[in-house]
Amino acid sequence: MGDGQLKAAGMFREFGPVRSAEPQESIFDNVAEAELPDLTQVVSYLNSGHVLIDVMDVANDAFDSTRQVMNGSTVLTDGDWLWRKDLAYYVRRHRVAVPADFLALIRERDYVVPSRDVPELTACSRQARDLMFWNS
């Protein structure tokens, strides 16, 4: 883990409020012009994160209400970043952009989520809980 403070990706305002110093962006403002050249590997990395908060839910696709996303609110980590499980879906299906510094880290790691021990994941879990459930 880097400095101990996790960065967040894919926490768009359409999915509900989170505690953040930065205003939440809209998913609709985060669509890339082109598909990632390494899309399969990036999506695999996003799907391989360590589960911190497992949520069983179904939500309509933000871009296509005829499609649904399962368990999208589940929160994953690699020890440096937090993201919702549905980020992989949106990157693959709708070209939603991964933050540049997160994408660089994914590529630097050769698309492999690093192992993390229980104390590291416990600390990440606390941050995820504070981010997601700050108003409850």
Model pLDDT for residues 19-30, shown as the tens digit of each residue: 877 789 999 999
Cβ proximity of 90 and 35 under 8 Å: no
Model pLDDT for residues 38-82, shown as the tens digit of each residue: 999 999 999 999 999 999 999 999 999 999 999 999 999 999 999
| Mean pLDDT of all residues belonging to the chain | 93
Q: How confident is the model at residue 136 (pLDDT cuts 50, 70, 90)?
A: very low
Cβ proximity of 113 and 78 under 8 Å: yes
- The model's pTM is 0.92
Q: Which two tokens stand for residue 36?
A: 């990632």
Residues 6+ apart with CB under 8 A from 87: 9, 10, 46, 96, 98
Q: Which two tokens stand for residue 15?
A: 């999915």
Strands 81-84 and 7-9: what pairing? Answer: parallel
